[in-house]
C-alpha cells in the first residue's frame, strides 16, 4: 500500500494555515453590508487593526491582495514624475519598482544583494544626493529572500526630511514589532493571508498624518483605490464599495485571537520558531539564505548541491504532506522557504524539520536522523514553563 500522509501541514509564507474557529466564522450566513449589524463588525475590526498596526490612525481594509495595498500607497500619495527611491533586494522590492514605473514616477533603484539587508547609510547617501526624493519604498520582511530590512533605522532618516517612508509589511505586521507611529512610518501595508490567519482576499493599509496631507495633493489616478473615500466611509463604519463580507467576519475572529495572545507573545513565538528553524537547518548541514538579517516570518535554506529544490519541495508536499515554498527567480530550484508566522506553532516546526530530514535522505543526502529536530527542541524547550513538583 502506498504511503499517504494523514495530515497536511501548510508552512509556506502565504497563504498560511487558517484556524478552525476562523473558518467557522467565515462560514456564517452572509448579511448585507449596508446594515447596522455589519457596521458593528466593521467598528470592532477598525479598532482592533489599530492595535495590531500600533497606530492611532485609521487602518483601511481593501478587498484585494497585499499588492493592492502597495499600489494604493503609491497612487494616493504621489504625482507623475515624482522621484522615489526603491530598495530592490528581492522579488517584492522589484514589485515596488514595477509599480512606480507603471505610474510614471522617477525611479532610482537601490540594489541589494539577495539574502542581505539594505544598509541605511546607502539610503541616507541617496537622499543626500537627491533631496527632492518624495518617497522611499522598502519591504520590512522581504519574503522572497527571507531578509528583515532595518525599517526603524530607515525611518530615522526619512522622518526628518520631506520624504515619505512606504513599507511593505505584508510578512512583518503581526509577526514582529513594527510600531508605525513610534517609528514614524508613513505608509504601512499588510495582507490577510499572512500573520492574520485568513484566506487571501483582504489587504490593509495605514497612512500617517503627513501621508494623508500628501494624499490631498497627489495627482496619480485612482478610483477603486481612493483611500480618502474609503476613510470617509470607515468613519461611518462601512466601506466605499462591496466588501468581502465573510472574510471580514473571519478577520474579526482572527484579530480577537491575536490580541488575546498578545502582540509581545506573538512576536516572541515567531522569533522562537525562526531561531529553532535556523538551528535545525544548520544542524542538518544546510546553508542559510539570510545569515545576518533573518526575518522572523520565514527562513530560507539552500538545498544541498546536486538536489533539485523543486523536486524536493514537491516530495515534501505530495508524499509527506508538508508544504513549504520554493525559491523565486535566481533562487528557483535552489532554495526552500519555511514559514513561522500566523497559525504556526512549535510542533509544526518540529514536524517540518523531521519531514525535511526524511525527504533529503530520499534524495541521496547523508542525513543523521534527529539532528535537526533536536537542535530546534533545545530552543523550544527554553520557553516551556516549569513543571509542577507535586
Residue with the three cell numbers 502597495: 70
The answer to whether 319 touches 7, Cβ cutoff 8 Å, is no
Q: How many CB atoms lie within 10 A of CB 143?
A: 28
Per-residue pLDDT of the chain (390 residues; tens, 9 = 90+): 678 888 999 999 999 999 999 999 999 999 999 999 999 999 999 999 999 999 999 999 999 999 999 999 999 999 999 999 999 999 999 999 999 999 999 999 999 999 999 999 999 999 999 999 999 999 999 999 999 999 999 999 999 999 999 999 999 999 999 999 999 999 999 999 999 999 999 999 999 999 999 999 999 999 999 999 999 999 999 999 999 999 999 999 999 999 999 999 999 999 999 999 999 999 999 999 999 999 999 999 999 999 999 999 999 999 999 999 999 999 999 999 999 999 999 999 999 999 999 999 999 999 999 999 999 999 999 999 888 776
Task: Give all domains of the chain, ordered by start, each with its CATH number.
Answer: 9-16+263-381 (3.90.1150.10), 31-260 (3.40.640.10)
Q: How many CB atoms lie within 10 A of CB 17?
A: 18
- Starting from the edge strand earliest in sequence, which strands make up the sheet with 106-111, in order? 59-62, 203-207, 187-191, 164-168, 135-139, 83-88, 106-111
Does the pTM exceed 0.75? Answer: yes
Amino acid at each position: 500500500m502506498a504511503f499517504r500522509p494523514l495530515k497536511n501541514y501548510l508552512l509556506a509564507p502565504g497563504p498560511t494555515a487558517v484556524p478552525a474557529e476562523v473558518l467557522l466564522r467565515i462560514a456564517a450566513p452572509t448579511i448585507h453590508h449596508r446594515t447596522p449589524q455589519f457596521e458593528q463588525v466593521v467598528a470592532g475590526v477598525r479598532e482592533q487593526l489599530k492595535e495590531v498596526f500600533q497606530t492611532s490612525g485609521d487602518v483601511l481594509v481593501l478587498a484585494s491582495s497585499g499588492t493592492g495595498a502597495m499600489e494604493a500607497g503609491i497612487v494616493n500619495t504621489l504625482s507623475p514624475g515624482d522621484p522615489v527611491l526603491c530598495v530592490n533586494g528581492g522579488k517584492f522590492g522589484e514589485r515596488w519598482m514595477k509599480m512606480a514605473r507603471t505610474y510614471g514616477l522617477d525611479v532610482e533603484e537601490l540594489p541589494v544583494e539577495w539574502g542581505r539587508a539594505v544598509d541605511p547609510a546607502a539610503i541616507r547617501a541617496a537622499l543626500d544626493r537627491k533631496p527632492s526624493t518624495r518617497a522611499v519604498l522598502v519591504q520590512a520582511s522581504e519574503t522572497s529572500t527571507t531578509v528583515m530590512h532595518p525599517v526603524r533605522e530607515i525611518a530615522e532618516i526619512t522622518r526628518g526630511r520631506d520624504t515619505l517612508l512606504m513599507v511593505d509589511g505584508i510578512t512583518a505586521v503581526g509577526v514582529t514589532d513594527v510600531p508605525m507611529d513610534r517609528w514614524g512610518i508613513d505608509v504601512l501595508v499588510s495582507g490577510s493571508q499572512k500573520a492574520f490567519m485568513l484566506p487571501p482576499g483582504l489587504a490593509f493599509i495605514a497612512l500617517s498624518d503627513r501621508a494623508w496631507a500628501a494624499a490631498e495633493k497627489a495627482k496619480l489616478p485612482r478610483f477603486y483605490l481612493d483611500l480618502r473615500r474609503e476613510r470617509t466611509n470607515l468613519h461611518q463604519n462601512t466601506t466605499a464599495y462591496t466588501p468581502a463580507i465573510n472574510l471580514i467576519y473571519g478577520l474579526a475572529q482572527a484579530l480577537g485571537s491575536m490580541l488575546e495572545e498578545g502582540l509581545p507573545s506573538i512576536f516572541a513565538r515567531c522569533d522562537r520558531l525562526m531561531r529553532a528553524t535556523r538551528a535545525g537547518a544548520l544542524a542538518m548541514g544546510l546553508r542559510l539564505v539570510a545569515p545576518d538579517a533573518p526575518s522572523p516570518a520565514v527562513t530560507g535554506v539552500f538545498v544541498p548541491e546536486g538536489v533539485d529544490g523543486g523536486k524536493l519541495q514537491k516530495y515534501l508536499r505530495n508524499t509527506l504532506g508538508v508544504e513549504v515554498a520554493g525559491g523565486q527567480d535566481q533562487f528557483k530550484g535552489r532554495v526552500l522557504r519555511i514559514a513561522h508566522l500566523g497559525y504556526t506553532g512549535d510542533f509544526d516546526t518540529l514536524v517540518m524539520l523531521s519531514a525535511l530530514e526524511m525527504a533529503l535522505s530520499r534524495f541521496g543526502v547523508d542525513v543523521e536522523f534527529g539532528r535537526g529536530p533536536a537542535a530546534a527542541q533545545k530552543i523550544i524547550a527554553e520557553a516551556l514553563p516549569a513543571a509542577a513538583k507535586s
